[in-house]
Amino acid sequence: QAHLVESGGGSVQAGESLILSCTGPQLADADTALCLGWFRQWPGQKRVGVASLVVWPLRQTYYADPVKGRFTISHDSAKSTLYLRMNSLNVEDSGMYFCAASTDVCAATISMRPLKHDFDWGQGTQVTVSS
């Protein structure tokens, strides 16, 4: 299956905003039972869940504590795209961001931990926030 493709990262000042996008055929299903989410990776560390979304049977979002109230995840199945709007960015938000789709993504977000299984990751998109 094709990789998910992340985009939208960049270098910004603290307090500014970015919108990340993730596209791929895995995101085309409006009734997917998978959890869709975003992971952040700091240099030398594992990727941890920061935001996720389950769309079926009930739409529910999950956010790691450090990003609650600042990040918003959304999904457009018609465009096969997952978004992450990042507001009030701070230096700790810097890192490589990846998207994923699996049944473990939501739990990984709640606990802000890595996935418990292998996943065929995309290239990611770099977010750099300077103070």
Look-up: residue for tokens 């990776």?
Answer: 41
pLDDT one-digit tens code per residue, 52-78: 999 888 889 999 999 999 999 999 999
* Residue 1 pLDDT: 65
Q: Smallest Cα–Cα separation from 47: which of 131, 116, 120, 115?
A: 115
Cα separation values, 70 from 5, 35, 75, 89, Å: 23, 20, 17, 8
* Residue 58 pLDDT: 87
**pLDDT under 50: residue ranges of the chain:** none
Q: What angle do CA 16, 19, 24 make, to 5 degrees?
A: 160
